[in-house]
Structure 1
C-alpha cells in the first residue's frame, strides 16, 4: 500500500510480482531456507542441512534425501514395476508371494526355503510316479530307479519309462505265489525299454510264470 497526497493506492500481488496467500504459480526458482509444509504444519519437507531434505507426515519423519541418497524409514509400495539399472542391495530379507525370476542368481551363503525346494537350471526338481509300477528320476544326475509287480511271468515286460542311455540291472524276487517247490525268480534287461522276467523251479528247473516283484536301475 502506497501513500499519496490525495489518498491511498491499492496494489495487487500481481502489480508487485508477489505470490498471493490464496496461491499462485511461480515461474522462476523458489528458494526456501527451511521448510515447506503441505496441508498443515506437521507434514511436508524440511531442509535440515546442505543437501539434506527430510520428509515428515503428521510430525513423524518418514524419510530423507541426503546428498545423493534417498532413505525411506517405513515401507514403500509400488503399484507397477521397479526397474533398477544398477545393483539392488538389501540389508535384510526379500519377501515375495510369487516367483523370483533371475537369469543368474548367486548367493554367498545358503539359499533356504520353507516348505518348497529351491530349483535352478542346474538343480531341477526330481520327478516320480509313486504307483505300484512306478519310477523315480533324479533330473540332476539322470539316475532312474523303477519298480513293479507282475502277476504272470515268463514274459518280456516294458519298463514304466525307458532308460535314455543304459539299464544297469534288473532284480527280481518271488511275490505272493509259487509252485510245489521253491521257484527262483529271475530277470534281465532286453534293451533300455524292456526286460525278460520268469520263475524257475528249484528241483526240475522248469520255467514257470509265477508272480514276482522287480526293480531296475539305470540312467
Structure 2
C-alpha cells in the first residue's frame, strides 16, 4: 500500500487536475490508501491542495533550472524548457486551474519568482530579435505556461500522446511567438527587362 507522501501527491495531481472538486475519498482510492491514511498524511483538503501546489512550483522551478533559461539563445532555451517541463505538465494544469492557491501568500510568492524567470526569458528573446516585440513578454509568459497546462489536460484525457507533447507545444507556440522577418522586396515589374527571344531561323 502506498504511503509515501510524493506518491500520494502524484495520485492527487492525476485526480485534481481533471476534477478540482473531487472528494478526498476519490483521491485516496487513486493513491491506493484509505481515507484515514490520507488524513494522517494531510490533515485536510486545504493542506493537500497546498502541498500539491508547492510540488508543482518545485517541479517547474526545477524545469527552469534544467533548461538553464538564463543562458544563451532564447529560442534554444525555450525548447529546452519545453522538454524539461512536459513530464510535469499535469502539475502545471493543476497550478493553472486551482483557485484556492491564489489565497496563499507563500504560494503566490513562489509563483512570482518562477513567472519572473519566464518573463525574463521572453524579454531577452525580444532583445535578441527572436520573439515578437508587439506581444508583451508578460503575455508570452502567461500564454506559454497555459499552453503547458493545456497539454497536461490533453494528455490525461487521451487527446494527445505524451510522445507528441513537446513537438506540439514548440510548433504551436513558436509559430505565433517568433519574430516575423520581412521578406525581401519583389522586383518592380517596370524595372525587369523582358527576356530576349531568340530569332526564328528562316528556312
Give the TM-score of the pair, scaled to structure 1. 0.21
More strand by share: 1
**RCO higher in structure (CA 8 A, sep ≥6):** 2
Give the TM-score of the pair, scaled to structure 2. 0.22
